[in-house]
């Protein structure tokens, strides 16, 4: 049975005191937009951009050069897979696993490490907030994503502060992406449904227009409502029902050497789950709780790129407000709640000479947390107020001494400050600064083959940790910042549609910070507990013809902590994932109006070190089939169909918390069984 909150009304306590409510977001957007729109007369003084140029404005977010083993998911892939969440988007990519079963419990693992060690940005806005277990940080709505890019492992200085295991950038669409050729305004209406268990339904509406010769404005809204799903054995998995809403307003434009985009996004998730949303009630003591989560992101990106080799300025400013609240379903009492507000900017310039490119800049972020938990025995109930900030300066250069060689080197320097202002651990502070260098050499012995070797360090000082645990575990002011080093060897070969990409890597993370339970006068404290490491490889090969493509990949990560394998109990750090094989087949018609695809994933057995005698994590194989058809010209009417888990396999993703030693059973959620997903969209 689908679980719902006893009351459909908004809980005033969800809006924490001392913070502006969500109603202030349109006001902030309108004030900023009014300033920009005041410049609209300038747009009429410049030549209007042709449609082709207006639809392909330069990306504002600077990205590192694509390396073997990394990936970029474009809009075509998102639409073909009928993606409803990150699991649908990322599970078939090299080096990535997504676990949880239910949408709210999903966690992303890159090379076996959790996304908490990964820099995540949405339209350039950093998403550092860890609120409650699996919730909020990586919950995104795929419907209006333009692309997702992953650079795995510590890397370039431009990746941002604290990118211990890499960076994942999510970029959303704008009005020029949506407009049909020759049109100045349009709308998109879409309906989608997934048929499994109690099913799920999605409604999408978007309006977009060219409001000046070079200005575009888009407003979107998505409502996604899902019930409990069935696993591969046909058993109902409860509670997994959810209610998801996402709204965005985006203004973008280009005036001669200037281009910009301004985005305001709000995402809401509500549902009724057990206290730990990624686990069943295996011990009989977990109570159902009403969970509410909201993320509000305001970002502004600007690029100034005149006809000068010395100047290409890119600036990003953002404010990210994430909050959550869990209340006992039977009593309405607060279990936990928290709010983290992050504001920051990134300002950089690129200078291009004949054989040398140099990127240099500064970035800054300030985080503020307020959190309360009443989940423990009353003597340990607590709250906290914390602030943290990081200031960074960086430089990254690429030198091409000849057509066959590329030398890339850079360094960033980051200064971290963290303070506990009130509540648990009040008065504690941590401060540390450290450089993070990197060096990479690429050799191209032929036009088709490149070989690469790279070394990089990354430093993350003391930051605000998960809001729930921050109101429980104290700071003593004695923490060392976390330091990562990463060594990679890679090759890439491409010729006549054939490709082969391979990467081998070894990474260490020193001084890993985690919550340490003591159970004395304090429940526990934050401490440096040891060193994590990973050794692994990624390999992809395939062939692309004009209308047909095939690919095969394999990746494996051997993750350890202080010389023992990682397991599901290493929450916040990572887990063991079996060697993973991926395969894909794509075919499109000669007209380009229909596309078909197959995605397959085979995960081998993995030894489970969670307890002596624990059973291995069993292997599994999953196949997804998908297709879409343009029923009218120019993609005005599109029908999509996907059949996920085609053979109805019952399995636990290795990235899901599976076996619990105390219970002697699997306590995480199994993956969804066979699901038919259909959608139809009309753009006019």
pLDDT at 512: 96
- Write phi, then psi, for 31 (nearest 5 degrees): -65, -45
Looking at the domain assignment, is residue 5 inside a domain?
A: no
CATH number of domain containing 223: 2.40.170.20
Looking at the domain assignment, is residue 127 inside a domain?
A: yes
Domain count for the chain, please give it: 1
pLDDT at 134: 62
**pLDDT tens digits for 343-397?**
999 999 999 998 999 999 999 999 999 999 999 999 999 999 999 999 999 999 9
Residue 643 has pLDDT above 70, yes or no: yes
- DSSP letter string over 391-430? EEEEEEEEEEEETTEEEEEEEEEEEEEEEEEEETTTT-EE
- Check residues 365 and 684 and name the one with the higher pLDDT: 365
How far, CA to CA in Å, does 558 sit from each of 533, 552, 607, 652?
8, 21, 11, 19
The residue length of the chain stands at 684
Angle, CA 245 vertex, CA 241 and CA 250 arms, to 5°: 155
**pLDDT tens digits for 253-271?**
999 999 999 999 999 999 9
- Check residues 421 and 42 and name the one with the higher pLDDT: 421
Looking at the domain assignment, is residue 3 inside a domain?
A: no
Looking at the domain assignment, is residue 169 inside a domain?
A: yes
Lowest mean pLDDT among 6-10, 410-414, 555-559, 596-600: 6-10
**pLDDT tens digits for 182-209?**
899 999 999 999 999 999 999 999 999 9
What pLDDT band is residue 573 in, cutting at 50, 70 and 90? very high
Torsion angle (degrees, nearest 10) of CA 628, 634, 636, 640: 0
Instruction: Provide the total of helices (H) and of strands (E) in the chain, helices listed first.
Output: 7, 35
Burial (CB count within 10 angstroms: exposed 0-12, middle 13-18, buried 19+), residue 401 = exposed
Residue 23 has pLDDT above 60, yes or no: no
Domain coverage including residue 123: 12-683
Residue 37 has pLDDT above 70, yes or no: no
- Check residues 2 and 333 and name the one with the higher pLDDT: 333
Among the listed residues 443, 446, 530, 533, the one whose alpha carbon sits nearest the alpha carbon of residue 495? 446
**How many other C-beta atoms lie within 10 A of the C-beta of residue 69?**
27
- Check residues 27 and 627 and name the one with the higher pLDDT: 627
pLDDT at 1: 42
Average pLDDT of the chain is: 88
Lowest mean pLDDT among 32-41, 79-88, 439-448: 32-41
3-state secondary structure of 24: helix
Looking at the domain assignment, is residue 271 inside a domain?
A: yes
Is the Cα dihedral 91, 96, 97, 103 positive or negative?
negative
**pLDDT tens digits for 54-66?**
333 333 333 334 4
3-state secondary structure of 78: helix
Looking at the domain assignment, is residue 4 inside a domain?
A: no
pLDDT at 604: 97
């Amino acid at each position: 049975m689908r679980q719902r909150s006893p009351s459909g009304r908004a809980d005033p306590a969800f809006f924490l005191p001392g913070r502006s409510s969500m109603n202030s977001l349109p006001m902030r957007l309108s004030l900023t937009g009014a300033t920009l729109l005041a410049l609209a007369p300038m747009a009429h003084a410049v030549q209007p951009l042709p449609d082709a140029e207006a639809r392909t404005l330069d990306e504002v977010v600077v990205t590192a050069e694509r390396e073997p083993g990394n990936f970029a998911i474009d809009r075509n892939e998102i639409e073909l897979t009928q993606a409803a969440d990150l699991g649908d988007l990322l599970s078939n990519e090299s080096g990535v696993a997504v676990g949880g079963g239910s949408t709210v419990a999903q966690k992303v693992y890159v090379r076996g490490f959790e996304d908490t060690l990964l820099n995540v940005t949405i339209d350039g806005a950093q998403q550092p907030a860890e609120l409650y277990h699996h919730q909020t940080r990586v919950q995104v709505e795929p419907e209006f994503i333009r692309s997702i890019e992953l650079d795995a492992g510590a890397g370039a200085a431009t990746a941002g502060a604290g990118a211990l295991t890499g960076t994942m950038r999510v970029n959303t669409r704008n009005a020029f992406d949506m407009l049909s050729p020759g049109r100045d305004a349009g709308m998109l209406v879409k309906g989608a449904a997934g048929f499994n268990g109690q099913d799920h339904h999605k409604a999408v509406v978007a309006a977009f227009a060219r409001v000046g010769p070079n200005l575009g404005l888009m407003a979107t809204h998505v409502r996604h409502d899902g019930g409990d799903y069935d696993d591969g054995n046909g058993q109902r998995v409860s509670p997994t029902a959810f209610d998801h809403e996402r709204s965005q307003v985006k203004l973008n434009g280009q005036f001669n050497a200037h281009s910009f985009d301004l985005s305001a996004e709000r995402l809401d998730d509500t549902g009724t789950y057990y206290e730990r949303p990624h686990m069943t009630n295996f011990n009989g003591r977990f109570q159902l709780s009403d969970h509410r989560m909201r993320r509000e992101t305001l970002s502004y990106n600007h690029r100034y790129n005149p006809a000068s080799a010395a100047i290409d300025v890119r600036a990003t400013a953002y404010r990210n407000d994430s909050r959550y609240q869990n209340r006992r379903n039977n009593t309405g009492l607060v279990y936990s709640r928290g709010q983290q507000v992050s504001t920051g900017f990134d300002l950089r310039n690129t200078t291009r000479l004949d054989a040398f490119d140099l990127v240099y800049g500064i970035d800054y972020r300030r985080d503020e947390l307020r959190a309360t938990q009443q989940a423990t025995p009353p003597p340990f109930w607590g709250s906290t107020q914390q602030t943290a900030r990081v200031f960074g300066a960086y430089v990254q250069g690429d030198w091409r001494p000849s057509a066959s060689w590329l030398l890339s080197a850079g360094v960033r320097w980051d200064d971290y400050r963290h303070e506990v202002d009130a509540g648990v651990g009040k008065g504690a502070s941590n401060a540390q600064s450290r450089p993070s260098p990197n060096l990479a050499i690429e050799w191209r012995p032929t036009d088709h083959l490149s070989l690469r070797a790279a070394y990089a360090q990354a430093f993350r000082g003391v930051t605000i940790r998960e809001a729930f645990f921050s109101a429980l575990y104290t700071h003593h002011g004695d923490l060392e910042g976390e330091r990562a080093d990463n060594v990679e060897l890679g090759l890439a070969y491409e010729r006549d549609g054939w490709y082969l990409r391979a990467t081998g890597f070894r990474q260490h993370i020193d001084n890993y910070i985690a919550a340490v339970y003591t159970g004395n006068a304090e429940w526990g404290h934050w401490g440096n507990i040891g060193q994590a490491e990973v050794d692994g490889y990624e390999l992809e090969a395939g062939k692309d013809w004009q209308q047909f493509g095939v690919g095969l990949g394999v990746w494996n990560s051997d993750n350890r902590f202080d010389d023992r394998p990682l397991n599901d109990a290493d929450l916040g750090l990572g887990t063991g994932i079996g060697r993973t094989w991926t395969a894909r087949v794509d075919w499109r018609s000669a007209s380009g109006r229909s596309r078909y695809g197959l995605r397959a994933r085979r995960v081998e057995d993995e030894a489970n070190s969670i307890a002596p005698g624990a059973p291995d994590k069993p292997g599994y194989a999953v196949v997804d089939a998908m297709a879409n058809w343009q029923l009218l010209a120019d993609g005005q009417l599109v029908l999509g169909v996907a059949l996920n888990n085609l053979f109805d396999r019952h399995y636990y993703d290795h990235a899901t918390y599976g076996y619990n030693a105390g219970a002697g059973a699997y306590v995480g959620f199994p993956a969804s069984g066979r699901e038919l997903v259909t959608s139809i969209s009309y753009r006019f």
